[in-house]
Structure 1
Amino acid sequence: MFNRFIFIICFLPLGLFAQKSSTSTVKQAQKSYNQAVSYLTNNQIDLAIIDFKKAIDLDNRFLAAYQQLGDIQRKSGNYAEARINYTKILEIDSEFYPLTHFYLAESELNTGDYSKAITHFESYLGFPEISATSIEKTGKYLLDCQFSLKGIEKPVPFEPKNIGQAINTAEDEYLPVVTADEETIIFTRQANRNEDFYTSKRANEIWEKATYLSNNINSPDYNEGAQNISPDGKYLFFTACNRPEGLGRCDIYLSKKEGNNWSEPFNIGEPINTSGWESQPSISADGKTLYFVSTRKGGFGGYDIWSAELNADGSWNSPVNLGPNINTKYDETSPFIHSDDESLYFSSNGWPGFGNKDLFISRKIQNTENKTDWTRPVNLGYPINTHSEESGLSISHDGEKAFFSSKKEGGFGKLDIYYFELPKELRPRNVSYVKGMVFDKINNLKLNAHIQINDLSTGKMVFDDFTELEDGKFLASLVNGKNYGLTVRREGYLFYSHNFLLDNMEKNEAFLLEIPLQKIEIGKIVVLNNIFFNTNKFDLLPESKIELEQIVQFLNENPTLNIEIGGHTDNIGDDETNLTLSKNRAKTVFEYLINQNIRANRLSFKGFGETNPISDNKTEDGRKLNRRTEFKITNK
């Protein structure tokens, strides 16, 4: 519905017109015009349009009627029709109303006629006594036009494809987000003025027919929209407006997937939600940083992008504005932080663009004070961006595909969901993911287990969650260029460790793991995959600390257990040297545990040299597996 205040403001300046220009000598035309103004004052926009058109039909030089009709059309986004009426005014009297030049130029900008827009913006600046605010905004629009003319000359590759009728219908479908494995998509569908979430699964590269997401989230009385899903598909952040428990007009909510359904959503509360307007959440891959849009105080313009960090106790820190390299005095919306935790895609009408809102990318950096900052945004280019509004972009985990919504010829209805291959220079940093299933080694029963993944160089936790109750599965995103240690724990079982050495990886790759857990029994062995030594050395490398702390925690949780630490080598070198090296490595771990207050009578160590290989020593991969540290349960 149109805003009544907008149209009253539109009408008031006409009192400044010269009397001979704002009225008609045709009595019936003036009557229709007066009736239209009455409708406009009462927010009866459709009726006002009819009578303004009647007035023009009766007097085709009725400038005030053209002006009012053009203003209504421009305010409602019908720029093509607005251009016709504004152009007619200037043909009759180019000095009738200075702002007509500005409004015509604005309409030309928003229909992609940049050269003509420049002409009329410049003619507007030629009028005397223009306010500083108007001069500033006109200058901004001129930059947009100049940017657009250059941008059109250097188009970027863009071949959008409809995602298909399993998802798109005759209704509006928009705001798509996909999980890291691209096997699940969640999107918004609007039908009968009600917005709800729908989802689809992909099997053998084919999307299944979309289904209603959940009665726990969707509601018949309120709209749900602007959603974002964590890479593993387990956490859904979304926006809901005007709910009874809301703190403001629109708040951010969270729901967790529980089996085949979703939990009852809850308002994430202060300090993220306020009495104002918070919306359009996007969660980082590690689940610890939430990006969102807000109109709260302390911003740069109307809508700004903010972020907040999650504390260990589940509360959120006070939100921080992303600053002047992202936000402008205009509007920034639709943030999407990629799984690389570095590439932020968003929509803005403040940075130079092709008209209305454009899509941009900015990269996270460390500034000279070693604080987080952002690079100056880069426009995604033409024809990804056009004179129309572009927003609501999401990027696949591998960074190769972008998903968006648009109303195009050949679609299935109104807004449809499309995807396209993202130009390489606009892609995020390479990322990988690990997808695993945890089960009992003896009976194959799927297990609910605690999964932790750490950056081995910094010790920072990048994933901390539990597997699904029903199927023991988990999925975690990993940024390339780093090395990670994974630990799987469950009460009554030996822990499991694995590592992902991605420091030299230059492409996206998925790691699929089947993880058998062993119950705690005498004689069972745990291979410590994240204990590291330099070649032919027995000093522990710093990257080993995470694994060593896991051993300490395991022994403290099971105070009656005794273990034997074993060192092993490959068959390179002589037997005696390998035996000594393996014994010294096992002893180093033994001494570390004692220094962590593990009683010495619970521990023993032994070097096995090359005598107990678990793989073929003929290959480097095999020798790597044989060079290992492990422990064995010796007493319960």
Structure 2
Amino acid sequence: MRIYLLIHYNLGICYLRSKKDLGKAIGYLEKAIEHISKKHNAFAYEERNAPISAHFELGKAYQLTNKLDEATSQFRKCIALLPKRNLLQEELSRHIEMCEFAKSQMANRLNVKISNLGEKINSTYSDFGPILNTDESIMAFTSNRLGSTGQEIAKNGNYYNDIYISNSDGHFWSDPQNINGKINSKFNDVAAGLSSDGQQLFLFNDQTGYSYLYQSNFFNGEWSPIEFINENMKDSSLESHSSISLDGSLLYFASSREGGYGGTDIYRCRKLPNGAWAKAENLGPKINTKHDEISPYIHPNGSILFFSSKGHQNLGGFDIFSSEIDENQELATPKNIGYPVNTTGDESYYVLNAEGRRAYFSSTKPGGLGNEDIYVAEFFDYEKIAVTILKGTITIKDQGDSEAQAEILVYDNADLSSPPGIFKPNSSTGKYVIVLKPGRDYKIEYLLNDLIVKTDHIFVLEESVYQEIEKSVIMEPIELDAE
């Protein structure tokens, strides 16, 4: 009858890997460990016993269901049975550390309300990678749901990923729309980053056999065909989730390129004065570990980097971390953002809003609609981040010329030798959003067709709190007499 124990082991592994029914994974693996063999031969058809690693797998199933003491017990049993030099020993010890850390985090949980974005956004498939503009009116995300472009199924048995867009009126999200055929292809297309104004989309796809970063711009109500970002971003490796700083001068992204510290590391590119991107630089061992680091996100204030990692001190799987950035662009030691945002499962693609009290992220936690869902977290004890949001609507009066171009130039009066920040209103709605840092005196110029229409001066106090300034401007094209 022991043949059934090995079947139980294999079924338990399948349920554990899929994470669809961890209760069944535990049931099968509990049965499998009744007969363990130190001489287990996975390639012998007459093998009837489960391997020693069944204790490890059962421990992971317990860990994912927050049965942390039971998980630790299984990890210790596996350590005792395996040779001391076995490669699993280090990983087993790390899992015990994660369980202990998870218990401490659960005892000091954050004061937060976490909500699944529901059937409007999530499906029974995988929905992940929310990226938003600064005023949270636009959200792009990735899904392998039914209805993908090309309707083709990948080797993993799922539909290829497509990018979807949803808009918010401040209360509800609209039904997601497949972004368009100029961006989505019959291969994997993944939303990687969105500019603060929501008009520049970064994405990657694998239609060439590699996952390169591309960009698309929103103009006259539609997204442009994708363009490769820069040769210095090109590498025969996995290039994934990215985030661009508010002023467009820094681009953070994850890559598995050679020369890193682990499987996937986080890199940073600086924009050169000529508009090209400099060579990517690895963020170093303070951020990157021998494990995977993914989904970087730079907060609109430019002073906080969020990312997910399987390394550092975490509860299990991918956890979300934050690292403060000083004025010299040096990063501080990462901090785990805590439970219950982070769980013993995988959490990633974290986006904290400008105010600092609401965040969107992806999670594989139990209870979702699909394999991975998008959630929103409302923090009750977080202090508002000291940033000033300048926003409004640019209206072009009597616009007969559809080519009329409005721009907003933002100058730091203490550093007039540096080029201004250049912002463009949404080409469809005319809305714009700009984040101003505290302790600075700004000159704001509103231009139409390169002519200054209006100039404002805004001084943001060093000790200022979160605030929003509404500035709407009506522009009228100036007709110049031809001579």
If the length of structure 1 is used for normalisation, what is the TM-score?
A: 0.64
User: Would the aligned equivalents of 2:131 and 2:191 in 1 still touch at CA under 8 Å?
Assistant: no
- Is the 2:445–2:452 Cα contact (8 Å) retained in structure 1? no
Q: Which residue in the other structure is 2:436 paired with?
A: 478
* Per-residue CA distance 1:127-158 (angstroms, 9 max, x = gap): 47422743332332222111111111111123
Kindly tell me: are residues 470 and 335 of structure 1, through their superposed partners in 2, closer, same or farther at Cα, counting changes over 3 Å? Answer: closer
2:456 to 489, 493, 498: 498
Paired residues of 1:237 and 1:254 also in contact (CA < 8 A): yes
| SS at structure 1 position matched to 2:112 | coil
Q: 2:168 — aligned with what?
A: 202
The answer as to whether partners of 1:179 and 1:397 remain within 8 angstroms in 2 is no
Which residue pairs with 2:389 in the alignment? 433
**2:388 and 2:437 in contact (8 A); partners too:** yes
Structure-2 change in CA distance of 1:295 and 1:441 (3 Å): closer
Q: Is the 8 A contact 1:407 1:415 kept in 2?
A: yes
- After the TM superposition, list the runs of 4 or more consecutive aligned residues in structure 1 that deviate by more than 6 angstroms: 407-414, 440-446, 518-521
Using a 3 Å threshold, how does the CA distance of structure 1 residues 491 and 270 change in structure 2: closer, same or farther? closer
| Equivalence for 1:286 | 247
1:590 corresponds to: none
Alpha-carbon offset, residue 394 of structure 1: 1.6
* CA 473–126 in structure 1, closer or farther in 2 if over 3 Å, else same: closer
Q: 1:306-339 CA distances to partner (integer Å, 9 max, x unpaired)?
A: 1111223232111111122211111111211111
**2:466 paired residue among 508, 516, 519:** 508
Quick one: distance in 2 between partners of 1:407 and 1:359? 13
Quote the offset at 1:293 in angstroms: 1.0
Gaps of 5+ in 1: 1-25, 30-54, 522-636
Match of 1:626 in 2: none
The aligned counterpart of 2:45 is none
- The number of residue pairs the alignment matches comes to 455
Cα contact 2:188–2:205 (8 A) shared by 1 = yes
The amino acid across from 1:381 in the alignment is G
Equivalent residue for 1:157? 111
Q: Which deviations, in whole Å up to 9, do the C-alpha atoms of 1:218-241 show, x marking residues without a partner?
A: 22x122113321111110001211
Residues 398 and 432 in structure 1, CA contact (< 8 A), matched pair in contact too: no
1:173-572 to 2 correspondence within 5 Å? 173-192=127-146, 193-203=159-169, 205-219=171-185, 221-241=186-206, 243-244=207-208, 249-365=210-326, 371-406=328-363, 415-422=372-379, 424-425=381-382, 429-438=385-394, 447-459=404-416, 460-461=418-419, 463-468=421-426, 473-490=431-448, 493-494=451-452, 496-504=454-462, 506-515=464-473
Q: Which residue of 2 aligns with 1:553?
A: none
302-311 or 264-273, which moves further after superposition? 264-273
The answer as to whether partners of 1:283 and 1:337 remain within 8 angstroms in 2 is yes
The answer to whether the Cα contact below 8 Å between 1:172 and 1:191 also exists between their aligned partners in 2 is: yes
Change (3 A) 1:365 1:140: farther
Structure 1 residues 313 and 275, CA, compared in 2 at 3 Å: closer, same or farther?
same
Which moved further from structure 2: 396-405 or 436-445?
A: 436-445
Superposition map of 1:570-581 within 5 A: none
**SS of residue in 2 equivalent to 1:507:** coil
* Larger RCO, structure (CA 8 Å, separation 6 or more): 2
Please give the secondary structure, in 2, of the residue aligned with 1:383.
coil
Contact 1:365 1:374 in 2 (8 A): yes
Give ranges in structure 2 of 5+ residues lacking alignment: 40-50, 147-158
Are residues 73 and 212 of structure 1, via their aligned partners in 2, closer, same or farther at CA, if it must alter by over 3 Å?
A: closer
Tell me whether 154-163 or 198-207 shows the greater mean CA deviation: 198-207
Q: Quick one: distance in 2 between partners of 1:267 and 1:276?
A: 15
Cα offset for 1:176?
Answer: 2.0
Tell me what 1:536 maps to: none
Distance apart, 1:418 and its partner CA: 2.9
- SS at 2:53's partner residue? helix
Inter-CA distance 94–109: structure 2 relative to 1 (3 Å threshold): farther
Query: Does the 8 Å contact 1:152/1:382 carry over to 2?
Result: yes
Indicate if the aligned counterparts of 1:357 and 1:391 stay in contact, CA closer than 8 A: yes
Change in Cα spacing, 1:318 to 1:443, as seen in structure 2 (3 Å) is closer
Identity %: 28
Higher helix share: 1
Q: Aligned residue for 1:137?
A: 91
Name the aligned partner's letter for residue 378 of structure 2: E
What are the within-5 Å matches in structure 2 for residues 42-57 of structure 1?
55-56=3-4
SS at match of 2:355: coil
Amino acid at match of 2:340: P
Q: Distance in 1 between matches of 2:359 and 2:476?
A: 42
- Partner of 2:153 in structure 1? none
SS in 2 for 1:271: helix
> In structure 1, how many angstroms separate the alpha carbons of the residues matched to 2:266 and 2:83?
35
Matching residue of 2:42: none
Change in CA separation of 1:497 and 1:116 when aligned onto 2, cut-off 3 Å: same
Structure number with greater Rg is 1
Offset, 1:109: 2.6
Task: Decide which moves more: 495-504 or 249-258.
Answer: 495-504
Q: Distance in 2 between matches of 1:83 and 1:472?
A: 55
Q: Is the 1:364–1:372 contact (alpha carbons within 8 Å) kept by the matching residues of 2?
A: yes
- Cα deviation 1:275-316 (Å, max 9, x = unaligned): 111011111111121111111112111111111112232321
1 CA distance for matches of 2:11 and 2:120?
Answer: 42
| Distance change >3 Å, CA 357–CA 413, structure 1 → 2 | closer
Q: 1:308 to 1:404 in 2, by over 3 A?
A: same
Q: Could you say if the C-alpha distance between residues 415 and 70 of structure 1 is closer, same or farther in structure 2, counting changes exceeding 3 Å?
A: closer
Counterpart contact for 1:342–1:429, Cα < 8 Å: no
Q: Deviations over 1:499-538 (max 9, x none)?
A: 22112453322222233568889xxxxxxxxxxxxxxxxx
Paired with 1:69 and 1:443, the residues of 2 have a C-alpha distance of 66
